[in-house]
Structure 1
Amino acid sequence: MPPRERAGPVPMERVAIVVLDEDRERALRAVARAGVVELDLRGAPAGEGDELRRAADAGVEHGPLVGWVGWMPRSEHEALAASLAELGGALVPLRTPVGEEPPTLIRHAPGDTSRTLVDTYGTVPYADVDPARAALVAYILMFGMMFGDVGHGAMLVAVGLLIRAGAIRPLRRIRRTWGFVTLAGLAAMVFGLLYGEAFGPTGLVPVLWLNPMDEPVPLLLAAIAIGAVLLAGSYVTGTVNRVREGGWGYALYARTGVAGSGLFLALGLLTWGLVAAVTPLVVVGAVLALVALVLIFVGVLSTSGGGPSGILQAGIESFDSVSRLASNVVSFARLAAFGLTHAALLAVIWTGTTALWGPGWGAVAAVLVFVVGNIVTFGLEALIAGIQALRLEYYELFSRVFVGEGRPFRPWRPDLSGHEAPTDAPVPASHGKDHP
C-alpha cells in the first residue's frame, strides 16, 4: 500500500465520464462493473426505480456526447479509462470544486479491527491523517491499566477467541471485534503482572512494578503522566491535520493546532518548573503560554466577526482553553482510580474466600464466593473500564485530532440483473434530459 494510503484516505480525483449518446448505457454498465466511481446523480429523477435508467437520465448532453461527473480513487483511473476507451469514451480529470471535499475511502485488510474506534466515532475527513492504529494502542493501554489482572485478562482473551470461533450464534454479529477484545485482554494481563494481581492478591504472580492498594499515589502520578503523553500525541496529530486542512496559517491560530499545542507545552513547562523550582522553565513556560493565548484569542476573534461580542467570545474561549486543558490532563487520573477500584473489589473477594475456607461447607462457600465474586467483578469492571477508556479516547483525544467529519466514499454499484447485453445488441432509445 502506498505511503499516502497508509497515512490517511486514498487520494481521490474528480472525473468526467464522456461517451457518445448512443453508448450511454453500455458505458454506465462498464462503470457499474468497475465499481470505483461515486457518480453525482443529483440531476437524476426523484424516487426509487431502475438505477441504471436513472443514471442514464441524469447524463448531461452536449451535441452527440453525454457525460457524468463523480469521484474515484486516482489509482483506478487508468483501468477505467481503458474500459471506456473501448467504447469510444473518455475519462477526464477535473479540478476539485471550490468548497467541496472529496469523499473518504480508507483501505484496510479484511478483519482489521484497528478501525473499530475511529469508524464508530465518525468518518475521517479526506485531508486528515487516519489515527486508527494509534487510537487502538491508546485504548488498549488505558483499558489494561484500569482492568489490570492476569486472571481477568485471560478470561477476556478467552472471550475474544470465542467470538472469533463463531460457535455462539449471537456473537457472530460482532465477530470482527475479536482482535480488539483479545488485545484488550492481553493488555490487562500485562498490567496484572505489573500489579501482581491474578484474580486479586492471590500471590499467584509477583509484583513487578507496584501494588495498587499499597501505592495509590505513584499509580495516580503514572496515570496522569500517561495521559499527558497521549494528549501530546493528539495535539501533534491535530496540528498535522490542521495544516493538511487549511495550511500553516489556519493551523497557527487553531486551538487544536499550533496555538493549542503551544499552550499544552507551556503548561507542562510551568508545572515542571514550579515542582522542580527551576526559574528559567517557569519564565519560558509563562512566555510561551502568553503567546499561545494571544494566538488563540486572534483565531477566535477572526471567526467571531469582531466587535464587542467577538472580543468577549474570544476572551471566554481563551480562558476556557486553559481550564479545559488542565481538567483534561487531570481526567486521566481515572486510569488509576478505576484500576484501584478493580484491585480493591478483588481484594475483598479474596479476603472473604480465605475467611470462609475450612472443612466441610466452609470450602464450598469459599469456592462459591470466589467464583461468583470474580464473575460479577469481571463483568462489571470490564464494562466500566471499556466505557471509561472510550470516554477518554473520544472526548480527550479525538476532540483534538478532528474538528469535523468526512463523507464516506460510496461507489455506484447498481444491480445489473436484466441489463447485461452483448456489445452488439441493439442500442436502447436515448434517455437524456432533452428527450421524452
Structure 2
Amino acid sequence: MPWRETLSPVRMDRIALVWPADAARPVLTEVAASAAVELDLPYEPGNGPEELDRAADAAVVHGPVAGLVGWSPSRQLPELRKALEPHGASAVPLRRPRGVQPPTQLTGEERRRPRLSRLLVDTYTTVPYADLDPARIAAVAYVVMFGMMFGDAGQGALLVIAGLLIRFLPAPWLDRYRKTWLFITGAGAAAVFFGVLYGEFFGPTHVLPVLWLEPLEEPIPLIVAALVLGAVLLAGSYALGSINRVREGGWGYALYARSGLAGALLFTAIGLVAWGLLAGSPVILVAAGTVALVALVLIFIGLFVESGGGPTGGLQATVELVDTVVQLASNLVSFTRLAAFGLTHAALMMVVWQATTAIWEPGWRIIPAILMFVLGNVLTFALEGLVAGIQALRLEYYELFSRVFTEEGRRFRPWAPDLGAASTSPAAASAVPAASALPPVERHLP
C-alpha cells in the first residue's frame, strides 16, 4: 500500500444492496461474512443469528426487489459484488448525501491489525472521514519528546532490550503485548540518542563523552532547544490542521480558521518576531507585525461569523481572539517542560551517582554502593519513565492534536453478526429458507 494512503481514512462509498425479494437470507449471510458493509438500520444491530430476520424485515421492498443502503470501503466492493452475484444481488454505488459524514475506517482495521501508534490518536478522538490520520507522525513526535526528557543511554538501552524481548521471546504470556514492541523500542532508541548527546549512561558516570551539552551545566541552551523543537512540532500541527480544514470545508473555511491558515499565519508572525529580534532587523519586525495583523483580522472574521454576528457575536469573537493569542504563546512555552523534565532526570541520576561514589570503598562497602546504584536507577527509571510518558502524551493532546482536529469522527461499524452455522457458500445458501417465508413487508420504495 502506498504510504500516502496510510495518512487518510479508507475511502468509503455510499451503496445500495439490492437483491431478489426471495433471496434475503443468503444475500445477507454473504454481507455479514464479508464484514464490508455498515447498514443503515432503524434499530441498534445485535450480534446473533436473529439479525438475519431483523435486517431482512427492515429492507425496503419494491415489487420483486428488496434492498438496504449503507457504507462500504471502496476497495472491498469488487469482492463483495463477486460474492453477491450467484444470488442475483449487487452492491450499487450511490451519490453521497450532502452534509452527511461517512464513517471512518483507518488503515489496518479491515484486517483487524490496527497499529499501536494509532492508540495515541484513538484515545483522543475518532479521526473524521475528511481528515488526515496523523498516527505515524504522532508516534514519531511522541518518542522524540520522550527521549529528550528521558535522555540516558543506559536506561534507554534497557527499553530497547525490553521491546526486542517482547517481539522475539517465544513466551505465550507476552502475546498480548506483541504489538507494543516497536513503540517501546522506538522510545528507548530516542532515549539512547539523547543520552549520548548528554553524555549520560546510567547517570553522569563518564562512560560516554558529552557530545552536545550536560543538562545540569547548561540548562539555558537545553530550554532553547526545547522551545525550538516545540516550534517545529507546532508548525507541523498547523500544517496538518490547515490541510484538514481545506479537506473539511474548502479553502475559504481554512483561510479564516484559527487552527487553519489564519492560525498558521499568526504562528509564522511569532517566528518572524523571534528572527527579527535575534537579527536586530527592524524590517523583519515590521513584516512580522503586518503578518500578525492580517492573521488577527482573518481569525476575528472567522470567529465573528461562527458566533452568529451582531454585537454579542463581536464581543464573543474579541474574547476568543485574545484567548487564541494567549493560548498560542502558552502552548509554545509549554514545551519548556521537555527541558525541565530532562533536567529533573539528570538531577536524580546525579544524586544516585554521588551517593554511590560517596560510599564506594574497597572491601565490604562495595556491596551497599552497588545496591545504591541499582536501586537508584530502578526508582529513577520507573518514576521518570512514567512522568516522561505522561508529559509527552499531554503535549501531544493539548498542544498538537487540538490544532489538527476540530470535530469528532464516527467509526465504521460493519454489519457482521455471528450467524453460527450459517454458511456463505452458494450450495449452503440455497438450502437456507427464502425470505418469502418471512412476515410480509408492506413498505415500498419512494
**TM-score, shorter chain, exceeding 0.5:** yes
Label 1:45 to 1:130 Cα distance change in 2 as closer, same or farther (>3 A).
Answer: closer
1:258 corresponding residue in structure 2: 261
- Equivalent positions of 1:156-195 (< 5 A) are 156-165=159-168, 172-195=175-198
Find the residue that maps to 1:105 and give its secondary structure.
coil
Structure 1 stretch displaced more, 77-86 or 329-338: 77-86
Structure 1 stretch displaced more, 403-412 or 214-223: 403-412
CA–CA distance in structure 2, aligned partners of residues 20 and 43 of structure 1? 23
Equivalent residue pairs, number: 435
CA–CA distance in structure 1, aligned partners of residues 123 and 171 of structure 2? 24
1:84 corresponding residue in structure 2: 84
Post-superposition shift, 1:422?
Answer: 2.5
Label 1:349 to 1:4 Cα distance change in 2 as closer, same or farther (>3 A).
Answer: closer
Label 1:275 to 1:52 Cα distance change in 2 as closer, same or farther (>3 A).
Answer: same
Find the residue that maps to 2:365 and give its secondary structure.
helix
2:212 corresponding residue in structure 1: 209
CA–CA distance in structure 1, aligned partners of residues 3 and 350 of structure 2? 49
Q: Deviations over 1:371-401 (max 9, x none)?
A: 1111000000000000000000111001111
Work out whether residues 199 and 210 of structure 2, in 8 Å CA contact, stay in contact via their aligned partners in 1.
yes
Work out whether residues 49 and 420 of structure 2, in 8 Å CA contact, stay in contact via their aligned partners in 1.
no
Post-superposition shift, 1:334?
Answer: 0.6
Post-superposition shift, 1:111?
Answer: 7.1
Find the residue that maps to 1:6 and give its secondary structure.
helix
Q: Deviations over 1:50-104 (max 9, x none)?
A: 1111111111111221100110011222222233232222221112122211111
Identity of aligned residues (%): 57
Which amino acid is the alignment partner of residue 14 of structure 2?
R
Q: Deviations over 1:314-353 (max 9, x none)?
A: 0011111111111111110111110011011101110111
Which amino acid is the alignment partner of residue 42 of structure 2?
R
Work out whether residues 5 and 11 of structure 1, in 8 Å CA contact, stay in contact via their aligned partners in 2.
no
Work out whether residues 150 and 345 of structure 2, in 8 Å CA contact, stay in contact via their aligned partners in 1.
yes
Whether 2:428 is the aligned partner of 1:422: answer yes
CA–CA distance in structure 2, aligned partners of residues 418 and 69 of structure 1? 26
Work out whether residues 22 and 434 of structure 2, in 8 Å CA contact, stay in contact via their aligned partners in 1.
yes
Post-superposition shift, 1:172?
Answer: 4.6
5+ long unaligned stretches in structure 1:
none
1:379 corresponding residue in structure 2: 382
Work out whether residues 26 and 430 of structure 2, in 8 Å CA contact, stay in contact via their aligned partners in 1.
no
Structure 1 stretch displaced more, 267-276 or 247-256: 267-276
1:41 corresponding residue in structure 2: 41
Q: Deviations over 1:404-428 (max 9, x none)?
A: 1211112111122233372443525
2:321 corresponding residue in structure 1: 318
Post-superposition shift, 1:283?
Answer: 0.6
- Equivalent positions of 1:9-88 (< 5 A) are 9-42=9-42, 50-88=50-88
Find the residue that maps to 2:116 and give its secondary structure.
coil
Work out whether residues 304 and 314 of structure 2, in 8 Å CA contact, stay in contact via their aligned partners in 1.
yes
CA–CA distance in structure 1, aligned partners of residues 276 and 345 of structure 2? 34
Structure 1 stretch displaced more, 274-283 or 417-426: 417-426
TM-score by length of 1: 0.95
Structure 1 stretch displaced more, 267-276 or 278-287: 267-276
- Equivalent positions of 1:349-368 (< 5 A) are 349-368=352-371
Find the residue that maps to 1:121 and give its secondary structure.
coil
- Which of the numbers 222, 229, 233 marks the counterpart of 1:230? 233
Which amino acid is the alignment partner of residue 258 of structure 2?
R
Whether 2:156 is the aligned partner of 1:153: answer yes
Post-superposition shift, 1:170?
Answer: 6.8
Post-superposition shift, 1:163?
Answer: 3.3
Work out whether residues 45 and 415 of structure 2, in 8 Å CA contact, stay in contact via their aligned partners in 1.
no
Work out whether residues 44 and 58 of structure 1, in 8 Å CA contact, stay in contact via their aligned partners in 2.
no
CA–CA distance in structure 2, aligned partners of residues 241 and 364 of structure 1? 59
Q: Deviations over 1:289-333 (max 9, x none)?
A: 111111111101101111221111100111111111111111101
Work out whether residues 5 and 106 of structure 1, in 8 Å CA contact, stay in contact via their aligned partners in 2.
no
1:434 corresponding residue in structure 2: 442
Work out whether residues 21 and 430 of structure 1, in 8 Å CA contact, stay in contact via their aligned partners in 2.
no
Whether 2:270 is the aligned partner of 1:267: answer yes
Find the residue that maps to 1:409 and give its secondary structure.
coil
Post-superposition shift, 1:236?
Answer: 0.3
CA–CA distance in structure 1, aligned partners of residues 47 and 120 of structure 2? 35
2:252 corresponding residue in structure 1: 249
Work out whether residues 44 and 54 of structure 1, in 8 Å CA contact, stay in contact via their aligned partners in 2.
no
Work out whether residues 44 and 55 of structure 1, in 8 Å CA contact, stay in contact via their aligned partners in 2.
no
Work out whether residues 24 and 434 of structure 2, in 8 Å CA contact, stay in contact via their aligned partners in 1.
no
- Which of the numbers 196, 201, 217 marks the counterpart of 2:199? 196
Q: Which has the higher contact order (CA 8 A, sep 6+)?
A: 2
CA–CA distance in structure 2, aligned partners of residues 136 and 235 of structure 1? 17
Q: Deviations over 1:337-370 (max 9, x none)?
A: 1001101110111011111001333212211111
Work out whether residues 197 and 205 of structure 1, in 8 Å CA contact, stay in contact via their aligned partners in 2.
yes
Structure 1 stretch displaced more, 353-362 or 341-350: 353-362
Q: Deviations over 1:152-193 (max 9, x none)?
A: 101222332343356777765433212111110111001000
CA–CA distance in structure 2, aligned partners of residues 47 and 40 of structure 1? 16
2:288 corresponding residue in structure 1: 285
CA–CA distance in structure 2, aligned partners of residues 78 and 19 of structure 1? 16
